[in-house]
Amino acid sequence: MPARVTHHRLPPEVPPLTFLAGAGRPVVEIVDLAVIGGGPAGSSAARESSERGLSTLLFDHAYPRRKACGGGLPVKGIEWMDAPEDAIECTMTSISFAYGGTKLKVPVKNGKMVRRDDWDYYLLRRAIEAGATHVKEKVKQLERDGDTWLINGKYRSRYLIGADGVNGFTRRHFLGPIPREHLFAASGYYLGLKPAENEVEFILGAIPGEEGYLWIFPKADHYNIGYCYNAGTPGMKEALEKLLHERWPGEFTNPGRYKLASGDEVDCIRFGSAIPSYNDPKLFDEPVSGDGWILAGDAAGHVNPIHGEGLNHAVLGGRLAAQAVYEEDPTLFEKYWREHYAHDMYRAAKTKHRIYRPFFMRIGFALGRTPAVFGLLSTLTQGEYEGKATRAFYLRAPLAALQVLFGMRHRDVRTLA
């Protein structure tokens, strides 16, 4: 079911509060809400709150900026992510999963890739059009002063939403940083070659026994390739270099430039960052809101711990946070995010260690390539792991097991050289 956020308009008789800062000092307006960070979570929150009639400041110093990201819009929740056609870089035609010499390539209909600089800027503009004021300042100071927040010593707001990304200022201020053992390290290259086809590839088992994957994402005019593994995993960079050189033989001539075997030289620009990836579901028990404040998106740790998808929860989480502020009780956010997407988070945190185990991978791929189960994989790529899909899987599993015994494969399964 698509998440529904009901819009209520603020009654017009509620004026923005004002604050007289003392004799001879300027009158400082107290806005209803300050949102720190103008990524998908923050811009969505600022837009939602402005549309509901709250006076809103949206702080982000970094525009224009390109956030390190694969830019794959999660299929689950695509309808709430507000990515219009002109923000879409390309539409994926298939998703493939490769492991131990087998590649399962599944056609997809609804997958979209965005360029983060364009899409994020679009979301920021939507927030501004809705009435939010963009303050191009980095937030470095935050104080509680009575019932208001004092930001950078000069802006005042009644409520605050922290959406400044993984281990940003607000996360550290309210809850402390997410420990390294609960982070993915994600890094890669923008490789300046136009993709031959719009296939999204996940390569599993590149570092045997480790939790994570390599990816190759198609973009309009380049590939986005990278790794995503538990922070500190040895061999991540080497695994990515191996993939790059095997797929596109060549060498770096300078940082950011790559000479292909054909003699052509293309951009190959490095990017990287961390992604929350809770390795223990208990971390999701910790409240991410309190007296006058809420954290949303990566700042709240709201990313799927198995694969690191966070864009859907950033957008929805931002909007739900704004709804809680509109209702004058930030702690309502706990109820809202738990109703909408906590189930996915807990389940992913619980199953992450099992899924990446080589034993499970082997079983999964052995069953996945059978004619009985292959057709179900497209449901999994929609992010639907439960209900009908699970029942169908259990019904077909005995037949699939027989097909494994007889070495039967779906006709579209490829063996890698």
Ligand X SMILES: Cc1cc2nc3c(=O)[nH]c(=O)nc-3n(C[C@H](O)[C@H](O)[C@H](O)COP(=O)(O)OP(=O)(O)OC[C@H]3O[C@@H](n4cnc5c(N)ncnc54)[C@H](O)[C@@H]3O)c2cc1C
Q: Is 27 left (phi over 0), alpha (psi -120 to 50) or beta?
A: beta
Provide, rounded to whole angstroms, the least separation between the CB of residue 67 and ligand X. 5
Measured from the CB atom, the residue of 166 and 372 that comes closer to ligand X is 166
Query: What Å distances lie between residue 193 and 189, 196, 325, CA to CA?
Result: 11, 9, 45
Q: Coil, strand, or helix at residue 113?
A: strand
Over the window 253 to 282, marking each residue x when it contacts ligand X by CB under 6 A and - when it does not, the resulting string is --------------------x-x-------
Is 68 a binder of ligand X (CB under 6 A)? Answer: yes
Give CA–CA dist 384/379, Å, rounded: 6
Using the Cα atoms of residue 389, residue 392, residue 212 and residue 342 in order, give the sign of their dihedral: positive
Using the Cα atoms of residue 362, residue 365, residue 366 and residue 367 in order, give the sign of their dihedral: positive
Stretch that binds ligand X, among 5-13, 90-98, 308-316, 364-372 (CB under 6 A): 308-316
Residue from 70, 111, 192, 330 touching ligand X (CB under 6 A): that is 70
Is 139 a binder of ligand X (CB under 6 A)? Answer: yes
Question: Residues 271, 189: contact at Cβ < 8 Å?
Answer: yes
Number of residues that bind ligand X (CB under 6 A): 39
Is 368 a binder of ligand X (CB under 6 A)? Answer: no
Determine the Cα angle at 281 with ends 175 and 80, to 5°: 80
Residue from 53, 71, 212, 250 touching ligand X (CB under 6 A): that is 71
Residue from 308, 324, 341, 356 touching ligand X (CB under 6 A): that is 308
Is 161 a binder of ligand X (CB under 6 A)? Answer: no
Which residues, including other chains, have CB under 8 Å from residue 255's CB and lie 6 or more apart?
A: 270
Stretch that binds ligand X, among 59-67, 282-290, 354-362, 386-394 (CB under 6 A): 59-67
Over the window 375 to 394, marking each residue x when it contacts ligand X by CB under 6 A and - when it does not, the resulting string is --------------------
Is 301 a binder of ligand X (CB under 6 A)? Answer: no
Stretch that binds ligand X, among 83-91, 162-170, 253-261, 345-353 (CB under 6 A): 162-170
Residue from 111, 162, 168, 301 touching ligand X (CB under 6 A): that is 168
Give CA–CA dist 307/352, Å, rounded: 9
Q: Scanning residues 21 to 40, which ones bind ligand X (CB under 6 A)?
A: 36-40
Measured from the CB atom, the residue of 111 and 403 that comes closer to ligand X is 111
- Paired with 15 in beta bridges are none
Is 48 a binder of ligand X (CB under 6 A)? Answer: no
Which residues, including other chains, have CB under 8 Å from residue 30's CB and lie 6 or more apart?
A: 16, 17, 18, 19, 148, 156, 157, 158
Using the Cα atoms of residue 318, residue 319, residue 320 and residue 322 in order, give the sign of their dihedral: positive
Is 192 a binder of ligand X (CB under 6 A)? Answer: no
User: Which amino acid is located at 164 in the chain?
Assistant: D
Q: Scanning residues 334 to 363, which ones bind ligand X (CB under 6 A)?
A: none
Measured from the CB atom, the residue of 104 and 114 that comes closer to ligand X is 114
Return phi, psi of residue 175, to 5°. Answer: -125, -10
Stretch that binds ligand X, among 159-167, 206-214, 322-330, 353-361 (CB under 6 A): 159-167
Determine the Cα angle at 106 with ends 102 and 109, to 5°: 165
Contacting positions for ligand X (CB under 6 A):
36-42, 59-62, 65, 67-72, 74, 138-139, 163-165, 168-169, 186, 226, 273, 275, 297-299, 303, 308-311, 314
